[in-house]
Amino acid sequence: MVITVCELRESWTREKVEERVKALLPLTNLVEIKQRDPKTYSALRRLKCVDAVKEIIRANGGKPNEHIVDYSWERIVEIHDGCESWEQFFAEHKPAWRSATAMGRMEDLRNRGLSLRKKWSVGSAAKFASNLATRRSAISNHRLLKKHLGTQWQTHLPPSSVTIIEDWEIGFAASNCRFRNEFKIKFPRHYDRAQDRGILEHVCRHMSPPPVNRSVHEILLFEFVKSLCPDTEANVWLSGNPRSSVDIFVPSSSLAIEFNGLKWHSERHKGEKMRWVHLLKQQACADRNVRLMHFWAHEKTQVIHSVIRNSLHMPLRRLSARKGEIAPVDYPVAKAFLDRSHIQGYGTHRSFRINVGLYFDGVLEAVMSFSPSEFRNGEGADWSLVRFACSLDTSISGAASRLFSRRPSGTIVSYSDNRLFDGALYEILGFEKVGVSAPDYFYEKDGIFVPKREGRHSTMKKRFANYSPDLVETEQMASHGYFRVWDCGKTKWVYS
């Protein structure tokens, strides 16, 4: 057994410590001093006078415990049973300890250990090692215990089966886990690794998926989807790949939904590797024949609900395009309709677009919008199909084909957003798939959507008083609190 303690910040002198130790005699070893008077023992360690105290104990016929060590980079270990000597213990755990957090966190961790012992009515840390069951017991760390498992973990694992090592890089296993010897799990991907190795069904109960922090909007979206499909599940880990965990999953439709907050899905926390996160998850789901849709937190709830309804083939209204009338749509009417019904709104190039609408009894129900290609930086085509949308929660069979029949003459190019659509509509209209672009980005500042065009140097010169021409776009924007958010790329389609 190895026991170490954290130093306290008392200003005791060496003489006062030795005086206190003599008052505690006849104690046989330092463990008894620690149990009887922890304050004295902590001061002993702070003054590095353990050797002198050992001499005092030996002079009085006692035998100091050789397993209590003095080291300069102190960490808290309440108890670790299973090591024959401290040399063995530190040989196994010293690399992890050296990468642990700084000394300022020690007092909080010590208080956490004390509160656990108080909760379980255990007087001292030594009593945790009262039987051999602890030798292969759970190894928990402070972050995992506090943030992810909390009181549920304390309920499932009694004190007699627990060893507490307060270091976040130490592994996590349990005494009743049949794979405890072969399968070492580390925070925060212990569940992923169990799943990766195909042993998830064998992992003991407390290794179930940790509770996930969910935003209010995500919970409301889940409740909406569940009202449409009762078999809807939340926070599902699709087997085989840790990247394929999704916020919402509808097994009956093989549809997965991710609701992404801008602040937490930008480069603010994880840097440039966020560029591929959403695309890799999209591909991981596609490999399992699951369609994944990503929605951003700034997008309109009504439009999100409408897109999901149509993806599940559950619109509130169904119309036939043959019964409608096609007519041009003025800019103000088209803008109001698309801002209300399209997930990206009307967009730019307002005055130069051709807008065609489908009317039912004088009511506009669908709009298709074309823009001259020169306003799209020359796409090798004459026109761009920039918007198509039907009224919210409405499915109009044949609407896209009828509206596209009124297209302007010439070659037409368009793009489908891979995070939401697979481009099947373009194939119906006769477009040819040309290629797929890499993930594109926009910006966020404090969780607020900022268009990509705000990162132009001409715009930044006007926006930022301390603009520096020596910095590239991303550095300039990041220095002012703007961070990139990446999508899943786009697919290019051409009609000729």
The CATH class of 216-311 is: alpha beta
- Kindly state the average pLDDT of the residues 412-432: 94
What whole-number percentage of the chain has pLDDT above 90? 40
pTM exceeds cut of 0.95: no
* Cβ partners under 8 Å of residue 127, min gap 6: none
Min mean pLDDT across 101-110, 154-163, 245-254, 399-408 is at 154-163
Cβ of 223: how many Cβ atoms within 10 Å? 11
CA torsion, points 462, 463, 464, 465, in degrees to nearest 10?
Answer: 60
d(CA 127, CA 208): 28
Domain boundaries, the chain: 14-207, 216-311, 317-410
d(CA 365, CA 146): 53
**pLDDT at 355 exceeding the cut of 60:** yes
* CB 245, CB 235: distance < 8 Å: yes
**DSSP label of 134:** G
**Polymer length in residues for the chain:** 496
Amino acid in the structure at residue 155: T
d(CA 17, CA 54): 13
d(CA 180, CA 202): 11
Q: For residue 348, what pLDDT is reported?
A: 74
d(CA 95, CA 137): 21
Amino acid in the structure at residue 314: M
Cβ of 459: how many Cβ atoms within 10 Å? 12
Q: For residue 342, what pLDDT is reported?
A: 96
Min mean pLDDT across 85-89, 137-141, 157-161 is at 137-141
**Beta-carbon-side half-sphere exposure of residue 88 (alpha carbons within 13 Å):** 10
Q: Tell me: the pLDDT tens digits for 67-76?
A: 333 332 222 3
Which of helix, strand or coil describes residue 410? coil
Partner residues linked to 115 by β-bridges: none
Per-residue pLDDT band for 443 (boundaries 50, 70, 90) equals very high
**pLDDT at 158 exceeding the cut of 60:** no
- How open is the CA angle 82-34-2, to the nearest 5 degrees? 15
Amino acid in the structure at residue 285: C
Best mean pLDDT range from 172-181, 337-346, 366-375, 463-472: 337-346
**DSSP label of 324:** S
d(CA 99, CA 363): 66
Q: Tell me: the pLDDT tens digits for 480-495?
A: 999 999 999 999 999 9
Partner residues linked to 357 by β-bridges: 327, 367
